[in-house]
Amino acid sequence: MSKKRYSLYFGIAVTLASLLPTGCGTEIAGSHNPSAYANEAAITGPWIRGFTRAGVSADIHANQGYAYGTAPDGTDLHYFFASRTLTLSSTYLTLTPLASSDALLPNTDHQGAGDYYEGRVYSVVQDWHGCSVPDGPIDVEVFDGTSLAPLSSADITAYQPEASGMTIDRHTGKAIVSSYCVPDKLFVYDRTNWQLEGTIPLPIHVGHIQGVSWRRGFVYIGNAEGQLYGLRMFDGTMRLLLSAGIQGEFEGPDFHSAQLRWLKNDGTGHYLYLFNPEY
């Protein structure tokens, strides 16, 4: 693969000091507008200015992430990602399984967070060793959105050292994959062949990324410490939007309509916290 295909989607010029978030609304802008995302400006929503906590679920018994989808008939779909299993639930307030699947492939022991898109569920699985040793194998798995039957898988071990979560850009159809161990970029894949198309630099470095979620021209990036960042795709501008301030380890987030739903492990169970955005 040529160096051109590995080229960066956003040109970022920042100082070391500017990489440290100083509070909600702190903003760093990219230096140019890549053609791949330039026309995404037309579908991009406004910046979220803050969040109001709106509730919490019962113990979900899933420890990696949540994803929301809508079936063709309009039915709400709620997916919970655990280290070894993927579950479709009839509600987000409790784990009420409609279908489940063993998410692991041979030689893997850990599933990250994922996404629902056009009737399919996407997740990442790997043999987790921690950040000091590159993980491998690392695979993308694709499941049927209703039965959760495995449909396909692809090995992405050559492209990134670890994978924590995935979202699908609804505008381009590309897959965007995060890494818990890589704080300064996201990885972009072509879903037709799962080849790496490039990386998206993060002008604010985010340690311990647990998952990502695309919505209305933004990628929302959540880390284990409960910080949620917004990355505006058409110009690379990035802001810290939420510091949850709730004890425990946060996992993969997603949006239901306008509501942020974020899974958290507080040491006694796993709960989906609900936040309503303010614009």
**pLDDT the model gives residue 40:** 84
**pLDDT the model gives residue 257:** 83
**pLDDT the model gives residue 41:** 87
Name which residue leads in pLDDT, 266 or 56.
Answer: 56
Phi and psi for 236 in degrees, rounded to 5? Answer: 80, 5
- Joined tokens for residue 30: 């990219």
**pLDDT the model gives residue 8:** 34
**pLDDT the model gives residue 18:** 31
Per-residue pLDDT for 11 more than 60? no
**Which of 161, 159, 186 minimizes the C-alpha distance to 10?**
186
Per-residue pLDDT for 29 more than 50? no
What is the band of 35 on the pLDDT scale with cuts at 50, 70, 90?
Answer: low
Rg, the chain, Cα only: 17
**pLDDT the model gives residue 129:** 86
Q: How far apart are CA 58 and CA 15, in angstroms?
A: 43
**pLDDT the model gives residue 47:** 97
- Joined tokens for residue 215: 């919505």
**pLDDT the model gives residue 24:** 46
**pLDDT the model gives residue 136:** 80
What pLDDT digit, counting tens, does each position of 185-228 carry? 999 999 999 999 999 999 999 999 999 999 999 999 999 999 99
116-153 CB burial, b ≥16 within 10 A, e <16: bbeebbbbbbbbbeeeeeebbbbbbbbbebbebebeeb
> In whole angstroms, how far apart are CA 183 and each of 131, 140, 151?
11, 20, 31
**Average pLDDT for the chain:** 87
**pLDDT the model gives residue 33:** 42
**Which of 71, 67, 63, 43 minimizes the C-alpha distance to 233?**
43
Q: How far apart are CA 240 and CA 206, in angstroms?
A: 10
Q: How far apart are CA 127 and CA 84, in angstroms?
A: 11
What pLDDT digit, counting tens, does each position of 141-163 carry? 999 999 999 999 999 999 999 99
Q: To which residue do tokens 């959540």 refer?
A: 222
What pLDDT digit, counting tens, does each position of 73-109 carry? 999 999 999 999 999 999 999 999 999 999 999 999 9
Per-residue pLDDT for 9 more than 70? no
What is the band of 22 on the pLDDT scale with cuts at 50, 70, 90?
Answer: very low
What is the band of 31 on the pLDDT scale with cuts at 50, 70, 90?
Answer: very low
Single-letter amino acid, residue 222:
G
Classify domain 24-278 at the CATH class level.
mainly beta
Tell me the domain boundaries of the chain.
24-278
What pLDDT digit, counting tens, does each position of 119-138 carry? 999 999 999 988 987 768 99
